[in-house]
Amino acid sequence: MEIIFNQTGEFEAYHEACKWCEKNGYSYGSMARNMPIGLMKGDWDIAKWYNLSSSERKGLDGTMTCQTFRTGPVFINITKVEAV
């Protein structure tokens, strides 16, 4: 599942993506330049992308990506969807 945030203004799309994560029960990691941000369902502390091992990256439920988080757009990609 992919969600796109196109808000204009400095970091506006990023902040809206973070609000979406919080509203939908996803924790998100810290921003590190233009690297992806890891997403996990539930209450988690997620390291910056460059500090995650390959197995930790594979264990994520999704990512938040962007060419530049300052101006957007921001993309949330959920790769693991919970069974209902």
Is 71 inside a domain boundary? yes
Is 83 inside a domain boundary? no
Q: Is the pLDDT of residue 83 over 90?
A: no
> What does the pLDDT read at residue 84?
46
Could you report the per-residue pLDDT of 68-82, keeping only the tens digit for each?
999 999 999 999 876
Residues in CB range of 7: below 8 A, 6 or more apart? 13, 15, 16, 72
- Structural domain of residue 31, as residue ranges? 2-78
Is 55 inside a domain boundary? yes
Domains contained in the chain, number: 1
Between 66 and 81, name the one with better pLDDT.
Answer: 66
State the average pLDDT over residues 55-61.
97
Question: Pairing relation of β-strands 62-66 and 26-28?
Answer: unpaired
State the average pLDDT over residues 29-39.
95
Is 84 inside a domain boundary? no
Is 15 inside a domain boundary? yes
